[in-house]
Amino acid sequence: EIVLTQSPGTLSLSPGERATLSCRASQSVSSYIAWYQQKPGQAPRLLIHGASSRATGIPDRFSGSGSGTDFTLSISRVEAEDFAVYFCQQYSSSPTLGPVTKEPTFGQGTKVEIK
Partner 1 sequence: QVQMVQSGAEVKKPGASVKISCKASGYTFSTYYIHWVRQVPGQGLEWMGIINPRGGSTTYAQKFQSRVTMTSDTSTGTVYIDVTSLRSDDTAVYYCARGAVVPLARFDYWGQGTLVTVSS
- Residues interacting with partner 1, by CB under 8 A? 32, 34, 36, 43-46, 49, 55-56, 87, 89, 91, 93, 95-100, 103-109
CB 60, min distance to partner 1, A: 18
| DSSP-derived secondary structure for the chain | ---EEEE-SEEEE-TT--EEEEEEESS--TT-EEEEEE-TTS--EEEEETTTEEPTT--TTEEEEEETTEEEEEESS--GGG-EEEEEEE----TTSSS--S--EE---EEEEE-
Comparing CB distances to partner 1, the nearer of 25 and 89 is: 89
Q: How far is the CB of 114 from partner 1 (least distance, A)?
A: 20
Cβ 18 to partner 1 shortest distance, Å: 25
